[in-house]
Amino acid sequence: MMHIIVCMKVTPKSEQVRLDPNTKTIIREGVENEINPADKNALEAALQLKDKHGCKVTVLGMGPPVWEPYMKLAVSMGADDAILVSDKAFAGADTLATSRTLATAIKKIGEYHLILCGEESSDAGTGHVPPSIAEFLNIPQITFVNHIEIIDGKIRARRVLEGAYEVLECTPPVLLSIEYGCNTPRFPDFRRKRWVDREFKLKVWSIRDLELNEEEVGLKGSRSIVEELREMGLGERARQKITGTEDEIAAQILNIIRPYIKK
């Protein structure tokens, strides 16, 4: 049976995130979290393979204890197991330190055939973690995938590029990053959720469980640092309201856009 590991992150809802104008730090209070949207698609892709081929699905996250309910939510959706790699030493990790930590956790899990990631996280949005994990594990990667099939034990994936697509095939183990929006993630199963609430025990691994050095993880293990945060000011606009009947509105729009109409 194939073992699929889904790397899953929890992110704040982007629209709710603001900078504190004085301290220039992110205001976390009152901001809701969610499973990183692309990772929900990765999980769904794994669960569809499980439905079809009977795979085992494990979700893996590196983050603070507040992620626990989201890891369990993934199990309620259909994952078989969940591991949260959590330690104060992991805080402040860049993509390199994050990938190293996740790759080490994956090695500790042991046998795997497929690793699925999201194409990118909605907060950092780098998309660099998946290829870095693959390199640390020394396995091939296929990034930006929107369709997966298992054919005769091989993985066949459709990779979407700018103005092009590729269909690629690979013998497991392989890491795939899954496109945001490529499927419709299922809701948690009600009965499963009850089981999770009552009996499921989330595995939590610390730096000692992974046998990593403090120098290799978190801020200390990072090779890039954030110097400062700046608000991008996406919204400084005139905000003039146009009102009236639909006919009047259309006439006013036409007046505004007329100078820009190309014959």
Ligand X SMILES: Nc1ncnc2c1ncn2[C@@H]1O[C@H](COP(=O)(O)O)[C@@H](O)[C@H]1O
Ligand Y SMILES: Cc1cc2nc3c(=O)[nH]c(=O)nc-3n(C[C@H](O)[C@H](O)[C@H](O)COP(=O)(O)OP(=O)(O)OC[C@H]3O[C@@H](n4cnc5c(N)ncnc54)[C@H](O)[C@@H]3O)c2cc1C
Contacting positions for ligand X (CB under 6 A): 7-9, 36, 38-39, 42, 61-63, 95, 98, 102, 117-118, 120-121, 124-130
Q: Which whole-number Å values give the CA distances from 217 to 5, 88, 146, 149, in the listed order?
A: 21, 10, 31, 35
Residue that has been written with the tokens 């199963």 in this structure: 189
Indicate the helix (H) or strand (E) that contains 246: helix 246-257
Instruction: Return the one option of ligand Y, ligand X, other proteins, none that residue 117 interacts with (CB less than 5 to 8 A, by type).
Output: ligand X
Q: Which of residues 10-39 bind ligand Y (CB under 6 A)?
A: 37-38
The distance of closest approach from Cβ of residue 108 to ligand Y in the complex, given in angstroms and rounded to an integer, is 28
Q: 3-class DSSP state for residue 44?
A: helix
The distance of closest approach from Cβ of residue 246 to ligand Y in the complex, given in angstroms and rounded to an integer, is 11
Single residue of 147, 156, 193, 203 touching other proteins by CB under 8 A: 156
Angle 36-39-44 from CA coordinates, rounded to 5°: 130
Phi, psi dihedral angles at 171 (to 5 degrees): -85, 135
Provide the 8-state DSSP code for 90. G
The distance of closest approach from Cβ of residue 20 to other proteins in the complex, given in angstroms and rounded to an integer, is 11
The token pair at 146 is: 């929107």
Q: Which of residues 52-111 bind other proteins (CB under 8 A)?
A: 94-96, 99-100
Instruction: Return the one option of ligand X, ligand Y, other proteins, none that residue 96 interacts with (CB less than 5 to 8 A, by type).
Output: other proteins
Binding residues for ligand Y, per CB under 6 A? 37-38, 120, 122, 180
